[in-house]
Amino acid sequence: MYWSELAWLIPIFPLIAFVVIGFLGNKLFKKAEGGGYVAIAMAAISCFISLMVAYEILSGGYPGELFKQSLLWINVPGQDLSFTFNIGIYIDTLAALMLIVVSFISTLVVIYSVGYMHEEGEKKRRYYAIISLFIGVMLGLVLSSNYLQMFIFWELVGLCSYLLIGFWYTKPSAASAAKKAFLVTRVGDIMFMLGLFIFFVGFGGNLDYEHIFNFNFEDFVGGNSMLTLGTFFIFGGAVGKSAQFPLHDWLPDAMEGPTTVSALIHAATMVKAGVYLVARSYPVMVETPDTMLIVAIVGGITALMAATMALNNPNIKRVLAYSTISQLGYMFLALGTGGYFFALTQEANAGYTSGMFHLMNHAFFKALLFLSAGAVIHAVHTEDMRLMGGLSKKLKITSLVMLIGCISIAGIPPLSGFWSKDEILASVWETGAENPIFYLLYIMGILTAFMTAFYMFRLWFMTFKGEPRDHHAYEHAHEAPKVMWVPLAILAVLAFGSGFALFMGFGEAIVPSIEHWHAHSEDIAGILTTIFSEWQTYLSIIAAALGIYLAYLMYIKKSINPDVFVATPGRKKVYDFLLARYGFTAGYDWIGLKVVYGLSLVVDWFDRKVIDGIVNGFASITVHLGNVLRKGQTGFVQTYAGVVLAGLSLIVILLFLLGGLI
């Protein structure tokens, strides 16, 4: 009896919670936080099973380190066309890692929600129902054994994010943000679907991971160029879901939802699905270095661009949203780098591992940061950092845990963010030897690290240090209740320490099966020596430290006045350009208003004039013909008799002429 055999229960429990909370009415759960306790219990059970399963897989407890189980769903045998779809479970080390991250963070977020959503009244039931569904489908996505099944869960994740971002749907901005998130990710979803079509044909009508990963890529229908297109489209799906350039603009707007939802979307569920998709497709992706290069470049651009947008935003949640986009960019950069290097040299570097490592670390510190921000918002009832300040006196625990999160994301050793970020940058530099473009990406990565440190500490200093700028809010601020700060404390410990997984064999555990890669040094001292004997490590630390120092100078010591950045019209223009998100919001609107609307007008014209024209034409021909023909109905009996006689005569004559009668 292995725990892995119970893996099918993992998504079931939150789904049960969804059904129970969602359909059993308000009255039953009026006392129990609108079903919040049911959601917690179910999430906790599935978290427990997840952890046991993940431990079993990661520690090699299950023979073969890979658990597979599947049921036949559709099977169409045939000579030219035959295909098979299965429904099943596929847990390798990657899925195990995702299980830990998703289930653990989701559980903490749900617990935290009990405090945060306490004042929402009857709406709570809807909240807990959807959030349970969200957790369930995300776990289902992670456990899927084939692309089709993943796609189904993928769409459900999109649906849940739509419902949760638009939780306060009476607010127009929330409603439109939800729509935006849904529509923008839809662009990616369509690409994902196209990729699946190509895979479906190319891999002979079977989308099982097992089938695809063991496929002989020489036999791919359509050849390598088609495979490249397929992987590119698959990556396109990830771009939409993970908010990468140029489909990133929905994520900052998604901040309209409750902060807990943001934490869930950013740390555990939604956006991690894209990274997971690319990591999952890794054995296919490494066959197509062109796609991997695109992945790396998109990741690098996104990381840098999102970081610049975070520099001057006054909204505490928006800053965190940009930082999520930026960190996701890092992950894609890492995955692209690792895959590209492997595709060219057939030797593994740390790209893939560090990307996944960063995913895990990011999940912990981003959940921590968002939930801390939630605690701050809960205390002062505003999201505008310009109205905060000096809150560390009031919110002692929150300020402390958030500081840990900030240091972690900034990349200061020995906190978790440092280890993964450093490893990513090191592997990017290494790949530079194969393609000089990676040197450029490396520089972008370092710049991003600098900016990350700056904006995170800008956020922290503006929120917690200095003089309170809004005294009314300051007076009413209070520390979060226990149900909120306990999850924060747990996350803080993990944000501090999850990086040490590197010393516990993370490198060896999370290695794609195709790469027979072993970490160079097994003991802690060896790893440390490797890391700290390279100048790149010091460069990234220095970049982070400079960022923090700059933030310190600007917001604590005030020796640099932040106003210098808007002092001249030119600088002001840059400042506004960043606030306007590089014009992407306007760009999306332009696409929506001009391109789509223009196209719609054309289609509308076609529909009205051509399609309706044909239909109406038939109708009016019939009407006119009828008008002509009805004149035949004179009403005179003798006319009819004449017609009958004429017809009869005609038949007789024809019979005479054509024979038969005589």
Partner 1 sequence: MIAIEYFLGLSAILFAIGAMGVLVKKNAIVVLMCIELMLNAANINFVAFSAYYGNLTGQVFALVSIAIAAAEVAVGLAIIMNLYKTRDTIGLDEVSLLRW
- Give CA–CA dist 292/336, Å, rounded: 5
**Residue 238 CA to its chain's centroid (Å):** 7
Select the residue interacting with partner 1 from 222, 505, 598, 642 (CB under 8 A). Answer: 642
Least distance between partner 1 and beta carbon 652 (Å):
13
Range 470-475, long-range pairs (CB < 8 A, 24+ positions) = 470/380, 470/382, 470/387, 470/388, 470/389, 473/380, 473/381, 473/382, 473/387, 473/388, 474/380, 474/389, 474/390, 474/391, 474/394
Cβ at position 629, least distance to partner 1 in Å: 9
What element of type H or E holds 89? strand 83-91
14-73 positions binding partner 1, by CB under 8 A: none
- Least separation in angstroms between CB 645 and partner 1: 6
Nearer to partner 1, 19 or 641 (CB): 641
Q: For partner 1, give the closer residue by CB, 561 or 633.
A: 633
Closest separation in Å from C-beta 603 to partner 1: 41
- Can you read off the two tokens belonging to residue 85? 């779809």
Would you state the structure tokens that stand for residue 560, as one six-digit string?
């640099």
Per CB under 8 A, contacts with partner 1 among 82-121 are none
Alpha helices in 311-392 (DSSP H): 316-345, 351-380
Secondary structure in 3-state letters for 2-35: CHHHHCCHHHHHHHHHHHHHHHCCCHHHCCCHHH
Which residues fall within 8 angstroms of residue 481, CB to CB, at 6 or more apart?
115
Among 433, 580, 641, 652, binds partner 1 (CB under 8 A): 641
Q: Which is nearer to partner 1, 591 or 648 (CB)?
A: 648
Eight-class DSSP state of 170: T
Task: Please report, as residue ranges, which positions from 576 to 635 form the binding site for partner 1 (by CB under 8 A).
Answer: 630-631, 633-635
Is residue 79 a contact point for partner 1 (CB under 8 A)? no
Closest distance of CB 627 from partner 1, Å: 9
Select 225 or 639, whichever has its Cβ closest to partner 1: 639
CB of 647 to partner 1, least distance (A): 13
- Binding residue for partner 1 (CB under 8 A) from 1, 525, 623, 637? 637
Nearer to partner 1, 621 or 641 (CB): 641
Binding-site size for partner 1 (CB under 8 A) equals: 11
Nearer to partner 1, 1 or 637 (CB): 637
Radius of gyration of the chain (CA): 31
| Nearer to partner 1 among residue 81 and residue 645 (C-beta) | 645
Overall size of the chain counted in residues:
662
Cβ distance to partner 1 smaller for residue 596 or 652: 652
Query: Residue 579: left if φ>0, alpha if ψ -120 to 50, beta else—which one?
Result: alpha
Q: How far is the CB of 637 from partner 1 (least distance, A)?
A: 6
Does residue 138 contact residue 110 with C-beta atoms inside 8 Å? no
> Which range in 364-372, 456-464, 571-579, 640-648 contacts partner 1 by CB under 8 A?
640-648
Could you tell me which of 46, 145, 13 has the C-alpha nearest to residue 92?
A: 145
Contacting residues toward partner 1, per CB under 8 A: 630-631, 633-638, 641-642, 645
